[in-house]
Amino acid sequence: MDPPPGFRAEGEYAGKVCRLWKSLYGLKQSPRAWFSRFSMLFYPWALCAATQTILVLFDVALIDTGMLGCRPTSTPMDPNLKLSIESGELFPDPSMYQRLVGRLIYLTNTRPDLTFAVSVISQFMHAPRSAHMDAVYHILRYLKSCLGLGLFYASGNQSRLSCFTDADYAGCKTDKRSTSGFCTFYGNHLISWKSKKQVVVSRSSAEAEY
């Protein structure tokens, strides 16, 4: 079997083709047999939860940090955790922290459950400390528990637009600013979401929510 057009093999596989030991064509079970034969080659890719014909790369952050075998956790962040610019000792490799947080920021495009936790750890990109890195590791452990989680948009008519918002009060230990969050639904479909620290210091919980 010749490689598909546009595929360029490198290294030890350059110039080689696939040899079929048994024909899979012309049978009703050909697609299933073909997929089961080659699915073992897809690691570290994972099957998408919405459709088994799409593969998604989830584990790269886990591989880079050596946390592929870590113990999963059920939440993206400890609800009682309060981070500040002085939480722990300075992390020796800021570039590693910045690289991991950058990947997590990109992941929030399809994972609204990570939005708040990632917004917190992204505030310490310039001088990360050990406690900040521990929070990143906690998010990675959470990802280990729900690799295939994502958004699902069903077919059918959607006619109602609704928005939900909330805020804490003086949640940041450093500057006493509050954090606002919102999510917008079109029918049953989540279409936008955000979590961001407010630009001014609120004088009451009512003002923070307003």
- 107, 169: one domain: no
Residue 101 lies in a domain: yes
Residue 14: which of 3, 22, 30 has the closest Cα? 3
- 100, 191: one domain: no
- 138, 47: one domain: yes
CB 158 within 8 A of CB 77: no
What's the pLDDT tens digit per position in 62-96? Answer: 767 777 778 889 999 998 888 999 888 998 889 98
- 166, 125: one domain: no
Residue 196: which of 127, 108, 78 has the closest Cα? 108
- 137, 203: one domain: no
Q: Note the pLDDT of residue 34.
A: 67
- 99, 176: one domain: no
- 117, 78: one domain: yes
- 104, 186: one domain: no
- 107, 170: one domain: no
What's the pLDDT tens digit per position in 103-152? Answer: 899 889 889 999 999 999 999 999 999 999 999 999 999 988 887 788 88
Q: Is the pLDDT of residue 48 over 80?
A: no
Domain boundary among 91, 112, 145: 145
Mean pLDDT across the stretch 11-30?
69
What's the pLDDT tens digit per position in 138-188? Answer: 999 998 888 778 888 888 887 889 999 999 999 888 899 999 999 999 988
Q: Note the pLDDT of residue 7.
A: 72
Q: Note the pLDDT of residue 55.
A: 62
Domain boundary among 118, 145, 172: 145
Q: Is the pLDDT of residue 37 over 70?
A: no
**Residue 131 is which amino acid?**
A
Residue 13 lies in a domain: no
Residue 11: band (very low, low, confident or very high) from pLDDT cuts 50, 70, 90: confident
Residue 1 lies in a domain: no
Which of residues 127 and 42 earns the better pLDDT score?
Answer: 127
Q: How many domains does the chain have?
A: 2
Residue 96 lies in a domain: yes
Q: Is 209 left (phi over 0), alpha (psi -120 to 50) or beta?
A: alpha
Q: Is the pLDDT of residue 9 over 60?
A: yes
Residue 16 lies in a domain: no
Residue 27 lies in a domain: no
- 71, 116: one domain: yes
- 171, 121: one domain: no
Flag whether the pTM goes above 0.75. Answer: no
Residue 19 lies in a domain: no
- 173, 92: one domain: no
Residue-range definition of the domain harbouring residue 170 = 161-209
> Rounded to 5 degrees, what are φ and ψ at 160?
-115, 130
